[in-house]
């Protein structure tokens, strides 16, 4: 690991601890409340209603729905949802805003305004597929798709197989089950999970140092008198 990687990893974990402290300050009045770090999420809060928080930092100025950190988090969150059977909140906290092209998609998600639920359901399925095609559940099917796609598009020098697969599944949604755990592909259950997700983002990019300073200030501001 590079020295810069170590520095950023330590800063990232420190930020997790600060979020945990902030949440602890806000739940201290609840008798059986607890806050955990690296417990099915970066931070897990329980004060009757559970909350799972993942903090994602980006060097880019914005993020999109297809960023690997986001799709991987959705994948992990859904498995936590299946395991815990919770009706709590799943929150993704970032230091950058949505990309302009994605603003409506994510803001409607935060508002729980799903004019086209299928778009969101298929997005979660896409997140699951992106992970499962690298595992035994979907690897064989993905290899078969790549062979098929290469034969149909022999002129492509560097085929974008994952992107092509997602586009194919949008046209053939009955095939999602071929690429991931069939027990996970329930539109009704996925939609209930979607309603529990929120995105905590700034209006403009905030670097990691300033994020830490702002969070420390917010924690002291929320601190209750002894």
User: Looking at the predicted structure, is the pLDDT value of residue 150 above 50?
Assistant: yes
Q: How confident is the model at residue 92 (pLDDT cuts 50, 70, 90)?
A: very high
- Record the pTM: 0.83
What is the pLDDT at residue 164? Answer: 96
Tell me what percent of the residues of the chain surpass a pLDDT of 90. Answer: 49
* pLDDT tens sequence across 118-142: 999 999 999 999 999 998 888 999 9
138-160 exposure pattern, b = at least 16 Cβ within 10 A, e = fewer: beebbeebbeebeeeeeeeeeee
CATH for 1-112+197-226 is: 3.40.1350
What is the pLDDT at residue 3? Answer: 42
What is the pLDDT at residue 39? Answer: 79
Strands 34-37 and 89-94: unpaired
Strands 197-200 and 89-94: parallel
* pLDDT tens sequence across 29-56: 777 888 888 878 888 888 878 899 998 8
Q: How far apart are CA 221 and CA 226, in angstroms?
A: 14
Q: How confident is the model at residue 212 (pLDDT cuts 50, 70, 90)?
A: low
What is the pLDDT at residue 186? Answer: 87
User: Looking at the predicted structure, is the pLDDT value of residue 6 above 50?
Assistant: no
Domain residue limits, the chain: 1-112+197-226, 116-194
For CA atoms 182, 187, 188, 191, the dihedral sign is positive
């Amino acid at each position: 690991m590079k020295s810069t990687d170590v520095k950023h990893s330590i800063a990232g974990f420190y930020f997790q601890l600060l979020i945990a402290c902030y949440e602890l300050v806000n739940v201290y009045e609840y008798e059986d409340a607890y806050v955990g770090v690296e417990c099915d999420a970066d931070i897990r809060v329980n004060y009757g209603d559970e909350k799972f928080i993942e903090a994602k930092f980006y060097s880019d100025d914005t993020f999109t729905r297809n960023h690997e950190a986001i799709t991987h988090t959705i994948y992990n969150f859904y498995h936590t949802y299946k395991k815990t059977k919770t009706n709590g909140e799943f929150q993704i906290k970032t230091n950058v805003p949505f990309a302009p092209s994605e603003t409506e998609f994510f803001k409607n998600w935060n508002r729980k305004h799903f004019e086209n639920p299928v778009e969101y359901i298929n997005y979660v399925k896409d997140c699951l597929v992106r992970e499962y095609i690298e595992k035994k559940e979907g690897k064989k099917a993905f290899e078969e798709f790549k062979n098929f796609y290469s034969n149909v598009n022999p002129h492509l020098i560097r085929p974008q197989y994952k992107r092509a697969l997602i586009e194919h599944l949008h046209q053939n949604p009955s095939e999602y089950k071929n690429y991931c755990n069939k027990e996970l592909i329930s539109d009704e259950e996925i939609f209930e999970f979607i309603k529990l997700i929120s995105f905590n983002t700034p209006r403009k990019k905030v670097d990691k140092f300033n994020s830490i300073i702002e969070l420390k200030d917010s924690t002291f501001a929320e601190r209750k008198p002894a």
